[in-house]
Amino acid sequence: MASPKFTKPLSHRDGPLVWIDCEMTGLNHKKDRILEIAVLITNGNLEVVDDGVEFVIKTEKEVLDGMDPWCVDQHGRSGLTKACLDSPHDYASVYTSVMDYVRSWIPDQRVAILAGNSVHVDKLFLMEGMPDLIDHLHYRILDVSTLKELKYRWYPQVIRPTPLGTSHRALDDIRGSIAELQFYRDRIFKTQAEAQAAAGQPAPSS
């Protein structure tokens, strides 16, 4: 849920994160297409600024019929395939809308970090199809899947409740990624006081 306290754009001091998830026709960024894109923005404390944006891109039937078998099955069951056929949004208008949304919250270039789960894949597609968006963001990324792998190897005793399932729709996947990162922060990462105590430093005064 968005926080009502966000009434003005974020700056570098806020540690902004631009959470992006794309659903594609496959994983080859040179030939496959983005079908759906969602964007949510948080500050560094993972507080969501608003409800975000989500767009389904108008896609021709022959393109959808040529998807790999996993995508044909998954996007068919999720309703995305039909949504792509019915969508009024072409790629160019979605590109413009996404850029306008990100710039409205983060006007300064290269202060926000791209975030998500296995978001390097999304970045490859965005570098091909939305280069101005990638140019607006910092070159670093925050990939929640890295923490997932580290938890598995270093903190196997920390059990994360099994998610209720993923719809493999873009906005739902982003919300799941933010919730996952919140879990790792709350259950694995030390608070400032704990970290300073472990380093033999005095706790910060309240």
Catalytic residue numbers read 139
Residue 182: Cβ within 10 Å count: 13
Token representation of residue 189: 């990462």
Give the DSSP per-residue string, 89-152: --HHHHHHHHHHHHHHH--STT-SEEEESSHHHHHHHHHHH-HHHHHHS-S-EEEHHHHHHHHH
What is the CB-side half-sphere exposure of residue 57 using CA atoms within 13 A?
Answer: 25
Q: Which residues pair with 55 in a beta bridge?
A: 37
